Structure formats: structure tokens, C-alpha cells
Amino acid sequence: MTTTKTTTKAAHLASGGPVVIAHAYRWHEAQLAAAMLHAAGIRAGITDPLIHNAMPESGLALGGMRLMVPPSQQNEALALLASVPLPQVRMPFSRALLFAVLVWWCGAAPMMSGLYLRRPEIARAAPAA
């Protein structure tokens, strides 16, 4: 059997390679999450930050930057990130209206933001389509 890049990557992941625990669409959000994990003693890495910063549209198409940790620390990392309270920011109506007009006029929506955690237990419980 010849080894290809795909089979090598699959073998690496099966043997305990890093797993994705979250996606972030802005560099600072990914860096803050990784720094919080590093401070707790969890080895974390961010993939694709340079592509996302150089070409934001491509970064959105790729699903943002991925926050990865070793499989042995996955549950601890997810629990730590889930324990952080979400910011409670409410945009004034006038600013929301301004954004709506700009989107209608320019045809470009504002850039996505946020840190989105992977929830393996929810993915497993979802019915197959």
C-alpha cells in the first residue's frame, strides 16, 4: 500500500494528533483563547492565522482559525472555555440601523466574530440526516 498525504494525516490523527475544539473568526479572539489555555497548562495551537489575516474572505470560507489541543486535554480545554462568561453587548438601535443601511447599500455584511466551541456530545446526539 502506498502512503499518501491523506492517509498519513489520517494515521497521525488516529494516533493522537491534535483535535479541533473551537473556531474563531478574529485573530485576537483566537489568541485570547489560546493564551487562557496555555495559562491553565493546556498545550494549544492555532491553525491558519496568517491566511485569515492576509485574505479575510478566504479565512471565512475555510471556517476561521481553528484552536487545537491534544486529545488527552480536550475535555479539560472545552470545560475551561465553556466556563468563561459570554460578553453581554447590546448594540444601540441607531447603530444597528446604520449597519443595516450599509449592508443594503454596499452589499457587504460586517465580518463575523466570536469563538465557537465544538460540542462533540451534541454532534453525537444529533439525528443523522
Q: What is the pLDDT along the chain (129 residues), one digit of tens a residue?
A: 455 554 445 455 455 688 999 988 888 889 999 999 999 999 999 988 887 777 777 777 777 889 999 999 999 999 999 888 876 677 789 888 888 888 888 877 666 777 778 766 554 555 555
Distance CA 18, CA 68 (A): 6
pTM for the structure as a whole = 0.66
CA 87 to chain centre: 17
Distance CA 104, CA 117 (A): 31
